[in-house]
Structure 1
């Protein structure tokens, strides 16, 4: 049998089982065990390491390394946006040629995959470079306006206080360029061959970056997001054939795959079991939130993180089991959401920490000493330089408002 995890846009997925087609021989029990065990293992890697990196990602040197906070309003709207996108993709595949759509998607994910993989391997590669490696610093800077007009425009927008409006300020070094070159090799491999190993490298990079950089601001927001996607997944898998159709037509690294006939055919195997990235990232960002909550308690324990991590393994195992019992596409979030929310809540009830859990605000830990702005006029490459520039702006503004003693 061919086990599949059918995913929709951005990897928000369900999971399912379908008979092998195209004259394929049924997968052996050993091959299925290897495939599903590998998928579970690959799913756990980005969740575990992405959660760890989410704790320190706000200390990155570029604004692109700063986390994106998901609020309760964002969480409530996400299932609606995801549904519209899914239906739009379905109509696109029905109206236009699948070949041309997938060509455009391949180019798009080729660029995204290279950047995501480079960002993923950069911390690991930095430890492998020798101490005497000739590392040079670079900066990519785009500012608003040219010449004197730039300064005048900046003054007008900031009540006469000189300020250069930066559009992009990206700092990198030679080590980053090496990582980018290595990732480009994988990108070309994926673009030319669509090999499942290259697909998985990109998929793991997307998942880890998602768990690391997408931050839920509190547990209530996490419950809203997971609850909404719970119903989203159930409806589009059980209620229609839209998700399954899009998943089978969508050729992009938004899923992890592993061949069930690897033992028989080696690296050229093509009878794949698949797991959508949404079944990794969506529970993963909630698990990462609980890790940050554990750290905020300052008890030197990671009780809620490990509880939710085990709950994810349990939920994914239930999903795989149900797929093989009913031999029908299953919405994985149907089993993952109750497990990932229910287990930690049960632990919080036992420990009497429910109030602390729901009052925890993760967004308050991002640049805690930096004044909060409702509008950022620039994308700064350094959190510390961003804080300094805002402090200078506030100081200048304060000096302008002070009364002149001589006039009194």
Structure 2
């Protein structure tokens, strides 16, 4: 995706416009061109609307992708898992798999992107007909889009389902209703009270006016069954004996998303629709921001500036970027059609800054839980030898107790139904809604830097009448705005040490604090020795020995059985298991 980082105006013939002015007199100076830009925009209002669509679309892709990339930060502990088969409308606490970038990627990214870009350029020149490449790459991207487009469509369906089947909603008199899918009822609670009382008049899973059923009990049960099928997890089992055995937990909307994505890719491959090409581009951007993480701010800054220099060189000093972007008709760019002109934006201009902005949002999420941690006093025992005698001394230290994680995703429906419009940015009806409204200082700073940089990019495009390397403006705008925010807030050290490589994801950490309660030193695990720890170690060793004996006996029992009777095994299995109904449970 980094091979197409260019913002350009495109004419009706599909080529980049290098001269959009009919002026044949001596060229104007930069200041004269810049001062005439407002008048130019007034005379070309349709062009202004076109560029506004570009900026809005890029910001929307990054905003949605960054929120989709949220996961449990290392400053919080996993929520206590419910027993297997338990009911309830809860979100999946599983960690998303991400591709963590390393500092070496700051060098590899530009090199690999350059190799791919030059290779495509040489291939286009050699074939002299890009239709062949378009067909090959179109088929390739059609297959690759199934996962990303399926993810985007499935998450969109999840959001729609959240509006239809919310967990909470608020009546006009301020009464808050909690929808309980297990008990098939709605419980009301008054403002300022946690007590919940079953409301017998509201027996459907819908909010507001539709909460009261006017039909039969059979129809009401059907509504609850639909809610269960759309909100609870299904299980897909696929196994081949001796090769793999996989169990995948998904929701019904995920299956619908894959089906819709397959249909969309088939239609795109046969029609080459610009609309479907843009939708696939949105999906690639969304998936790219979710799946790629710079891991640290230093790594992210290095990767972005590596691509920053690559983008400048490829656009200003070579014909590779503009040629590939305008010749290839594949979903590696977003194309915006206007009455007179068209404009395009490379997906790299969204994904590359977007993954850094996503890191900023996760850092805000980390700080939200980091500020909630508690320092609990604990007694540490230290064993020392004095004159041949073993002496045990006790010292009081502090143990970091992290707060429990609450998944903030999937709360749009609850926020809409339970929060007044004046407080839509600070919902407080449930703990999940409170967790979703954490302060996003660094995220908004990065978004503001991206917005300003995009405006500058488009202004330079109009002034110089030449395709612009958008990363030339986007990288400094995003990176500098974030580091400057950390400098102003005095949190540069927190940004520097923050990492998503798992090293901060510890529990029961013992620390030393100063007189003001600030953490000064973290005591390593091998230095910790709390009260009762030795007894626990002994019990663990004894338990391990017992388990080894039991395991050996079990193997002997299986061996004796196998000698008397052959055991059958499944060679191939594929099954889809729906969630169990409340009656079956």
Tell me which interval the TM-score lies in, with the shorter structure as reference length: 0.7 to 0.9
TM-aligned CA deviation for residue 75 of structure 1: 3.0
1:399 to 1:104, Cα distance in 2 relative to 1, 3 A: farther
Q: How does 1:130-145 map to 2 (within 5 A)?
A: 131-133=224-226, 134=229, 137-142=234-239
Q: How does 1:307-346 map to 2 (within 5 A)?
A: 307-346=445-484
1:87 is aligned to 2:165: no
Which secondary structure does the structure 1 equivalent of 2:104 belong to?
helix
Asked which structure has the greater CA Rg, the reply is 2
Contact 1:218 1:360 in 2 (8 A): yes
Alignment partner, residue 353 of structure 2: 283
1:29 is aligned to 2:44: yes
Between the aligned partners of 2:503 and 2:491, the Cα distance in structure 1 is 20
1:103 is aligned to 2:174: no
1:365 to 1:213, Cα distance in 2 relative to 1, 3 A: farther
TM-aligned CA deviation for residue 103 of structure 1: 0.6
Alignment partner, residue 284 of structure 2: 206
1:140 to 1:199, Cα distance in 2 relative to 1, 3 A: farther
Per the normalisation by structure 2, the TM-score is 0.53
1:185 is aligned to 2:263: yes
Alignment partner, residue 354 of structure 1: 492
1:18 to 1:188, Cα distance in 2 relative to 1, 3 A: closer
1:349 to 1:89, Cα distance in 2 relative to 1, 3 A: same
Between the aligned partners of 2:274 and 2:443, the Cα distance in structure 1 is 31
1:131 to 1:79, Cα distance in 2 relative to 1, 3 A: farther
The unaligned stretches of length 5 or more in structure 1 are 1-8, 151-164, 265-270, 370-394
Between the aligned partners of 2:237 and 2:95, the Cα distance in structure 1 is 13
TM-aligned CA deviation for residue 193 of structure 1: 2.1
1:131 to 1:215, Cα distance in 2 relative to 1, 3 A: farther
Q: How does 1:122-271 map to 2 (within 5 A)?
A: 122-129=154-161, 131-133=224-226, 134=229, 137-142=234-239, 146=241, 150=242, 166=244, 170-261=248-339, 271=341
Between the aligned partners of 1:360 and 1:57, the Cα distance in structure 2 is 14
TM-aligned CA deviation for residue 321 of structure 1: 0.2
Between the aligned partners of 1:85 and 1:92, the Cα distance in structure 2 is 11
TM-aligned CA deviation for residue 230 of structure 1: 0.4
TM-aligned CA deviation for residue 403 of structure 1: 10
Alignment partner, residue 576 of structure 2: none
Between the aligned partners of 1:344 and 1:128, the Cα distance in structure 2 is 33
Q: Higher strand share goes to which structure?
A: 2
Between the aligned partners of 1:278 and 1:359, the Cα distance in structure 2 is 27
Contact 1:255 1:274 in 2 (8 A): yes
TM-aligned CA deviation for residue 171 of structure 1: 4.0
Post-superposition Cα deviations, 1:337-375, rounded to whole Å, max 9, x if no partner, equal 111111111121122211111111023289868xxxxxx
Contact 1:287 1:305 in 2 (8 A): yes
Post-superposition Cα deviations, 1:225-266, rounded to whole Å, max 9, x if no partner, equal 0010000000100111011111112211111111111xx8xx
Contact 1:57 1:213 in 2 (8 A): no
Contact 2:3 2:113 in 1 (8 A): no
1:186 to 1:256, Cα distance in 2 relative to 1, 3 A: same
TM-aligned CA deviation for residue 56 of structure 1: 2.5
Q: Give the number of the structure with larger relative contact order, counting CA–CA contacts within 8 Å between residues 6 or more apart.
A: 1
Alignment partner, residue 55 of structure 2: 40
Q: Higher helix share goes to which structure?
A: 1
TM-aligned CA deviation for residue 18 of structure 1: 5.7
Which secondary structure does the structure 2 equivalent of 1:257 belong to?
strand
Contact 1:46 1:211 in 2 (8 A): no
1:190 to 1:311, Cα distance in 2 relative to 1, 3 A: same
Cα-Cα RMSD: 3.4
Contact 2:4 2:333 in 1 (8 A): no
1:127 to 1:324, Cα distance in 2 relative to 1, 3 A: closer
Contact 2:8 2:343 in 1 (8 A): no
TM-aligned CA deviation for residue 74 of structure 1: 2.4
Between the aligned partners of 2:504 and 2:136, the Cα distance in structure 1 is 36
1:258 to 1:365, Cα distance in 2 relative to 1, 3 A: farther
Contact 2:62 2:351 in 1 (8 A): yes
1:166 to 1:358, Cα distance in 2 relative to 1, 3 A: farther
Contact 2:3 2:348 in 1 (8 A): yes
Between the aligned partners of 2:461 and 2:492, the Cα distance in structure 1 is 34
1:76 to 1:11, Cα distance in 2 relative to 1, 3 A: closer
TM-aligned CA deviation for residue 57 of structure 1: 8.3
